[in-house]
C-alpha cells in the first residue's frame, strides 16, 4: 500500500483537488509546482495555502525543467508513487506560445520520468488529454483506437508524453498509467476555461464568445469525479503481460510493457448551448452571446468511453453538469464575494 505520493502541479486546478483528497485519506503528499503565470498566480497561491494547513502536505516551488531541484525533492521525499499533473495546459494558448509546451511538457515530463525510474517507484501516473484524439470522429473515443491526428502542439506534446512513457515502462519495467482527461470543470477552476470565463463575464455584464456558433459538444467531467478516478487508479498498477493473449478485450494494456492509457470522462456528450443555458439558469441572468466561427486547432466534439476506468476501479463518473455548475457558481460567488 503506497503511503508517500509526490504530485506535480499541486497549485493547479486538478493537482489541488487530488492532493486534498489524498491527504484526507491519510497519505503523505509532497507537491511540486513552479507557479507559472499562465493564469492568476494568486489563485494558485491560495490553493497551496489551503493545502499547507494540513500537516501531511508540504510543497516545493520550482520548475520541472530544473532537473536538480526535482531530483533533490524526489530523493529527500522518497515517494512510493508519483502523479505528474504539472504541464503547460490550455489548447488555445499553444498557438501563441508553442515553446512553453515543449519546455514544460516534454523536457519537464522527461525529468519526472527519470526520477521515477531512478527511484523505482511503485507506480507512475501522468496526465494526458482527450485532445490526443485530435481529428478522430468515431465516438465515443476509446483508448485502443488510433490517435495520430493531433491538431495542436499542446496535444502533440501530450501524445509525445504517452510514447516516452511507454518506452520507459518497457525499458525499465516502470509501471505507468496515462490518463486522458476530458474537459474538467469544478470549484477552484481555471480562469482560462469556459465555465469560469462564462460565469465571470455574465456576472460582469460582458459578452461571452461562443465558438462554432455553439455547435460544440463536450464530455464535461466534474473535478471531484476525476480525482476519485485518479485515486482509484493509483491502486490499479499495470503489469507487463506474459503473452498478448493475457490482455482482456477492451484493455489498453501494452503487450510489451507495464503501461496503460485510461480515459477519465463522464461518458456523456453535452451540447455547449445546453451548458450555457444551465449557467444562465443558475445565475438567474442571461448571457450576452457573441457567436463566433470555429477556432483554429479546436474540435467540435469530445466524448469518452470510460468503460475501462469502470472495469479497473468499479467507479463511473456521474455528476450531472447542472449539479457541477451549481457547485462552481457557489464557490465562485463565495471566493470573489460577488
Ligand atoms: N483541466 C482540464 O480540463 C484538462 C483536460 C485534459 C488534460 N488536462 C491535464 O491535466 C493536468 C492538470 O491540468 P490543470 O487543469 O490542473 O492545469 P493547471 O494549469 O491549473 O495546473 C498545472 C500546474 O502546473 C504548474 N506548471 C506548469 N508548468 C510547469 C513547469 N514547467 N514546472 C513546474 N510547474 C509547472 C502550473 O503552475 C500549474 O499550477 C495537465 O497536465 C493538463 O494538461 C487538464
Q: What is the CATH number of the domain that holds 308?
A: 3.40.50.720
> Is the Cβ atom of 90 under 6 angstroms away from ligand 1?
no
Q: With beta carbons less than 8 A apart as the criterion, state whether 31 and 244 touch.
A: no
Greatest Cα pair distance in the chain: 61
In a domain, 87, yes or no: yes
> Best substitution site from 59, 86, 182 to test ligand 1's pocket, by max atoms within 8 Å of Cβ?
86
With vertex at residue 108, the alpha carbon angle to CA 298 and CA 190, rounded to the nearest 5 degrees, is: 45
Residue located via cell numbers 488555445: 92
> Is the Cβ atom of 100 under 6 angstroms away from ligand 1?
no
How many angstroms separate the CA atoms of 239 and 169, rounded? 10
How many angstroms separate the CA atoms of 175 and 258, rounded? 5
Domain that holds residue 94: 4-182+221-266+304-318
> Is the Cβ atom of 65 under 6 angstroms away from ligand 1?
yes
Nearest Cα residue to atom 31 of ligand 1: 104
Tell me how far the alpha carbon of residue 244 lies from the centroid of ligand 1, in angstroms: 34
Residues annotated as catalytic are 154
Atom of ligand 1 lying closest to residue 14 CA? 16
Nearest Cα residue to atom 26 of ligand 1: 86
In a domain, 284, yes or no: no
Pairing mode, strands 270-271 and 217-218: antiparallel
With vertex at residue 132, the alpha carbon angle to CA 130 and CA 140, rounded to the nearest 5 degrees, is: 50
> Is the Cβ atom of 18 under 6 angstroms away from ligand 1?
no
Identify the pLDDT of residue 91.
87
Tell me how far the alpha carbon of residue 57 lies from the centroid of ligand 1, in angstroms: 19
Backbone region of residue 97 per phi and psi (left: phi > 0; alpha: psi in -120 to 50; beta: other values): beta
Q: How many domains does the chain have?
A: 1
In a domain, 187, yes or no: no
In a domain, 105, yes or no: yes
Backbone region of residue 193 per phi and psi (left: phi > 0; alpha: psi in -120 to 50; beta: other values): beta
Atom of ligand 1 lying closest to residue 86 CA? 24
In a domain, 159, yes or no: yes
Tens-level pLDDT at each residue, the chain (338 residues): 779 999 999 999 999 999 999 999 999 999 999 999 999 999 999 999 999 999 999 999 999 999 999 999 999 999 999 999 999 999 889 999 999 999 999 999 999 999 999 999 999 999 999 999 999 999 999 999 999 999 999 999 999 999 999 999 999 999 999 999 999 999 999 999 999 999 999 999 999 999 999 999 999 999 999 999 999 999 999 999 999 999 999 999 999 999 999 999 999 999 999 999 999 999 999 999 999 999 999 999 999 999 999 999 999 999 999 999 999 999 999 999 99
> Is the Cβ atom of 35 under 6 angstroms away from ligand 1?
yes
In a domain, 285, yes or no: no
In a domain, 64, yes or no: yes
Global confidence as pTM = 0.98
Identify the pLDDT of residue 1.
73
Cis peptide before 253 (omega within 30 of 0): no
In a domain, 174, yes or no: yes
Amino acid at each position: 500500500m503506497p503511503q508517500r505520493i509526490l504530485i506535480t502541479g499541486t497549485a493547479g486546478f486538478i493537482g489541488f483537488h487530488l492532493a486534498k483528497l489524498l491527504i484526507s485519506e491519510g497519505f503523505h503528499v509532497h507537491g511540486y509546482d513552479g507557479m507559472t503565470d499562465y493564469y492568476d498566480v494568486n489563485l494558485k497561491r491560495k490553493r497551496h495555502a489551503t493545502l499547507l494547513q494540513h500537516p501531511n502536505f508540504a510543497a516545493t516551488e520550482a520548475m520541472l525543467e530544473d532537473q536538480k531541484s526535482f531530483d533533490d525533492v524526489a530523493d529527500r521525499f522518497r515517494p512510493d508513487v508519483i502523479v505528474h499533473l504539472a504541464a503547460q495546459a490550455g489548447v488555445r494558448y499553444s498557438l501563441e506560445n508553442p515553446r512553453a509546451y515543449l519546455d514544460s511538457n516534454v523536457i519537464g515530463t522527461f525529468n519526472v520520468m527519470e526520477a521515477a525510474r531512478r527511484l523505482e517507484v511503485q507506480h507512475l501516473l501522468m496526465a494526458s488529454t482527450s485532445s490526443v484524439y485530435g481529428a478522430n470522429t468515431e465516438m465515443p473515443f476509446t483508448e485502443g483506437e488510433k490517435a495520430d491526428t493531433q491538431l495542436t502542439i499542446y496535444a502533440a506534446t501530450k501524445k509525445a508524453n504517452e510514447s516516452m512513457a511507454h518506452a520507459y515502462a518497457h525499458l525499465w519495467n516502470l509501471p505507468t498509467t496515462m490518463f486522458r482527461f476530458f474537459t474538467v470543470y469544478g470549484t477552484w477552476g481555471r480562469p482560462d476555461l469556459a465555465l469560469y470565463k462564462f460565469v465571470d463575464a455574465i456576472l460582469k455584464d460582458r459578452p461571452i464568445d461562443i465558438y462554432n456558433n455553439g455547435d460544440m459538444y463536450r464530455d464535461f467531467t466534474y473535478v471531484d469525479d476525476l480525482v476519485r478516478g485518479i485515486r482509484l487508479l493509483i491502486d490499479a498498477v499495470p503489469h507487463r503481460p506474459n503473452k498478448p493473449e493475457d490482455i482482456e478485450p477492451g484493455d489498453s494494456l501494452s503487450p510489451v510493457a507495464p503501461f496503460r492509457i485510461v480515459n477519465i470522462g463522464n461518458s456523456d456528450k453535452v451540447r455547449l448551448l445546453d451548458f450555457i443555458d444551465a449557467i444562465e439558469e443558475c445565475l438567474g441572468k442571461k448571457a450576452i452571446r457573441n457567436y463566433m466561427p470555429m477556432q483554429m486547432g479546436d474540435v467540435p466534439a469530445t466524448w469518452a468511453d470510460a468503460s475501462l476506468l469502470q472495469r479497473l476501479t468499479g467507479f463511473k463518473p456521474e455528476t450531472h453538469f447542472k449539479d457541477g455548475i451549481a457547485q462552481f457558481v457557489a464557490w465562485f460567488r463565495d471566493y470573489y464575494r460577488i
